[in-house]
């Protein structure tokens, strides 16, 4: 199963969006400087959202790309706050996959 995740660096007030098949492993990797050059500059990261996309990595990548294209902090925070709203999340996923 693949997920889109949102992590947050409180010390630098930054969000990062990615996709993975293991969100718990990815947060550990983002907090380990040997894995990521970009995210290692903004340690530490905390997991703010993980959204189940499905069994297809390509779909997860499409959703990640769509969310990144929004370039909106307000939208990212809305997703975090509404991640338990299955209708809203389903709508976002469908919109991402349609485009």
Burial of 78 (0-12, 13-18, 19+ CB in 10 A): middle
pLDDT in tens, 19-75: 999 999 999 999 998 877 788 889 999 999 999 999 999 999 999 999 999 999 999
**Is the Cβ–Cβ distance between 16 and 64 less than 8 Å?**
no
Query: What pLDDT does residue 7 have?
Result: 97
CA dihedral sign, ordered 7, 67, 97, 58 = negative
Give the span between the Cα atoms of 43 and 54, in whole angstroms: 29
Query: What pLDDT does residue 37 have?
Result: 79
**Is the Cβ–Cβ distance between 31 and 45 less than 8 Å?**
yes
Q: Give the residue from 8, 20, 9, 13 showing the smallest Cα distance to 52.
A: 20
Q: What residues does 19 pair with on adjacent strands?
A: 4
Could you say which architecture CATH assigns to the domain 2-98?
Answer: 3-Layer(aba) Sandwich (3.40)
């Amino acid at each position: 199963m693949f997920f889109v995740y949102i992590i947050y660096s409180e010390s630098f007030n930054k969000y990062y969006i990615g996709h993975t098949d293991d969100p718990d492993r990815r947060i550990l990797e983002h907090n380990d400087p040997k894995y990521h050059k970009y995210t290692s500059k903004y340690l530490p990261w905390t997991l703010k959202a993980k959204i189940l996309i499905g069994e297809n990595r390509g779909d997860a990548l499409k959703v990640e790309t769509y969310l990144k294209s929004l370039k909106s902090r307000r939208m990212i925070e809305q997703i975090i706050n509404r991640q338990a709203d299955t209708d809203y999340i389903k709508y976002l996923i469908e919109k991402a996959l349609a485009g």
